């Protein structure tokens, strides 16, 4: 409730203020503001301001003559701010976007603002190409944005700073997004009269039953036990079908830099625990417990949507996708989440993502750096459903309902900011409201929407797919996270070292090929030892020394 009640009280106390003159931000007569700080955060420019950006094109497709930079979302943001956003360049997909951003950096031809990754931020700070945003955020950042950054204990802003000065506006990693849960077809468990899983043994028994006992009742042997991702792990932010949870249960953390039992910094992919986890997965594959065709799918979610898979690993939000697609195709499907597998001592272990991994930067000589902050304020307020302009917001909601396009797909910057504990807090508050301990009217707008959808879903199950997505993600995914004691493990180093650019792609290829070949039985488990030696020889040992030096240097600051 701590976030929601503050908003309610502020909204009730909203006052209109007289603003500034000239082309600096002034108040918007249509939007209530509470004080000078909020007027600066949300005030509309009197004169138009132009901002050139690099834009990541979403998968969503617009119609009716709209374009990537002229659509209901962009028009609404411009109407609120008087900031005209122009796309200097566009790129579709994460990798093409990163490449275009890198080209802009290398050619010293930055747009006024764009989102960059950790290594790109470092290069931009080294070269002095971006603006110091410390005072800009302090003066123009909304209370909402600042509160969300504060929820990370200062880590997000620190990650985007150097020498105590802020050079990028970071996203905020939702902590609930890190743990990988095991999603299981509950209707199949019920049909075969099987209990839910917690241990490795449980998963094996269920996978065997799902493969051999016709759980969907169609008289064919066309179902699989456990789906998998051909690249084996995600390593940072998990997604669909990664096997990170299996490694974590062995206290193995591939692709992450960790401290071993002796306190030495090691690369998690080369530890004995990783070898043990690969041995378990190879055994599962040999027994037919893992989908035998997992490495051949063009899209890893295919067997889930097709109703062939009985189990897969994924974050709490899987009902949003791909389970929404799976249930739309087969309304009989019922999915539940489990904190599994547990380690040998009965603990659920999860690797946590970095507090942030993307940064909104501003070209050093851009005349209106505060405009970037103001845009971030406005679309974050909209994203968190705290925008007081109800008529316009309803129009955007209607647009989303009609087209299936979420407004955030066309925000100028792909930068998600929320409270780091937002998911757990939403779930807890909804439970309080459902049990009569909180008046639903006092819930913050995000949580109230979830509450309303939950009630509607309870009354008419699977009647509204949007309501089903949110309710099931929280009812089963978030519920497991809030009721499970999680042993969290964090990396000690992110980013790159001097030797990485030249050799890291080769080392990553070696790693992914070795892991896949061991699991599918192309090479024996003993090949892992050869991989470790080759990894060290090709530059891994030197990189480990560089990472150790960097960590020790940071610790001595």
Residues 6+ apart with CB under 8 A from 172: 148, 149, 151, 152, 156, 355, 356, 416, 417, 418, 419, 420
Q: What are phi and psi of 310, to 5 degrees?
A: -100, -20
Is the confidence at residue 262, as pLDDT, over 70?
yes
State the pairing for strand pair 83-92/49-57.
Answer: parallel
Is the confidence at residue 6, as pLDDT, over 50?
no
Please report which confidence band the pLDDT of residue 36 belongs to, taking 50, 70 and 90 as the band edges: confident
Mean pLDDT of the chain: 91
Q: Which of 12-16, 181-185, 257-261, 498-502 has the lowest mean pLDDT?
A: 12-16
- Kind plus residue range of the DSSP H or E element containing 184: strand 181-185
Tokens of 423: 């998911």
Q: What are phi and psi of 90, to 5 degrees?
A: -130, 155
Q: Percent of the chain at pLDDT above 90? A: 84
pTM over 0.75: yes
Determine the pLDDT at residue 35: 74
Determine the pLDDT at residue 1: 42
Name the residue with tokens 């306190």. Answer: 263
Name the residue with tokens 């647009």. Answer: 399
Is the confidence at residue 3, as pLDDT, over 70?
no
Is the confidence at residue 511, as pLDDT, over 50?
yes
Please report which confidence band the pLDDT of residue 62 belongs to, taking 50, 70 and 90 as the band edges: confident
Determine the pLDDT at residue 63: 75
Determine the pLDDT at residue 237: 84
Cα separations (Å) of 285 from 119, 250, 279, 292, 440?
Answer: 37, 18, 10, 7, 48
The rounded distance, in Å, linking the Cα atoms of 438 and 430 is 8
DSSP, collapsed to helix, strand or coil, labels residue 338 as strand
Determine the pLDDT at residue 16: 30
Determine the pLDDT at residue 15: 30
């Amino acid at each position: 409730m701590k976030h929601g009640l503050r908003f309610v009280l502020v909204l009730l106390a909203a006052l209109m203020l007289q603003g500034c003159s000239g082309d600096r931000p002034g108040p918007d007569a249509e939007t209530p503001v509470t004080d000078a700080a909020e007027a600066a955060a949300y005030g509309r420019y009197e004169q138009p301001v132009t901002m050139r950006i690099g834009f990541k094109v979403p998968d969503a497709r617009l119609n009716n003559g709209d374009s990537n930079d002229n659509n209901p979302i962009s028009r609404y943001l411009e109407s609120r701010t008087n900031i005209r956003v122009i796309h200097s360049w566009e790129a579709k997909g994460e990798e093409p976007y990163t490449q275009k951003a890198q080209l802009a950096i290398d050619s010293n031809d930055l747009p006024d603002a764009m989102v960059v990754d950790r290594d790109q931020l470092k290069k931009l700070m080294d070269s002095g190409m971006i603006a110091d945003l410390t005072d800009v955020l302090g003066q123009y950042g909304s209370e909402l944005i600042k509160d969300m950054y504060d929820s990370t204990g200062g880590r997000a802003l620190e990650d985007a700073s150097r020498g105590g000065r802020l050079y990028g506006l970071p996203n905020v990693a939702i902590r609930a997004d890190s743990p990988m849960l095991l999603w299981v077809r509950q209707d199949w468990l019920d049909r075969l009269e099987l209990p839910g899983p917690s241990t490795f043994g449980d998963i094996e028994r269920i996978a065997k039953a799902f493969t051999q006992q016709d759980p969907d009742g169609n008289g064919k042997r066309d179902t699989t036990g456990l789906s998998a991702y051909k690249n084996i792990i995600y390593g940072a932010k998990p997604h669909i079908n990664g096997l990170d949870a299996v490694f974590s249960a062995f206290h193995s953390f591939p692709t992450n830099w960790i401290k071993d039992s002796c306190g030495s910094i090691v690369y998690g992919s080369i530890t004995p625990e990783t070898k043990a986890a690969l041995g378990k997965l190879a055994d599962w594959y040999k027994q037919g417990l893992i989908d035998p065709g997992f490495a051949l799918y063009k899209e890893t979610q295919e067997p889930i949507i097709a109703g062939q898979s009985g189990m897969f690993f994924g974050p709490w939000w899987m009902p949003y996708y791909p389970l929404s697609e799976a249930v739309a195709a087969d309304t009989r499907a019922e999915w539940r989440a489990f904190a599994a597998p547990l380690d040998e001592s009965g603990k659920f272990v999860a690797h946590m993502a970095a507090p942030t991994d993307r940064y909104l930067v501003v070209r050093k000589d851009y005349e209106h750096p505060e405009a970037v902050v103001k845009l971030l304020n406005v679309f974050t307020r909209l994203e968190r459903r705290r925008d007081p302009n109800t008529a316009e917001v309803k129009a955007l909601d209607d647009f989303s309902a009609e087209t299936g396009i979420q407004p955030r797909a066309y925000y100028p910057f792909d930068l998600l900011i929320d409270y780091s504990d937002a998911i757990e807090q939403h779930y807890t508050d909804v439970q309080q409201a459902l049990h009569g301990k909180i008046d639903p009217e006092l819930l913050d707008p995000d949580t109230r929407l979830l509450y309303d959808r939950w009630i509607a879903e309870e009354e008419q199950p699977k009647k509204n797919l949007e309501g089903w997505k949110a309710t099931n993600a929280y009812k089963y995914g978030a519920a497991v996270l809030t009721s499970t004691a999680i042993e969290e493990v964090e990396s000690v180093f992110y980013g790159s070292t001097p030797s990485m650019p030249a050799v890291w792609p080769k080392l990553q290829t070696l790693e992914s090929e070795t892991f896949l070949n061991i699991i599918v039985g192309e090479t024996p488990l003993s090949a892992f030892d050869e991989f470790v030696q080759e990894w060290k020889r090709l530059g891994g040992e030197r990189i480990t020394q560089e990472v150790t030096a960097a960590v020790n240097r940071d610790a001595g600051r």
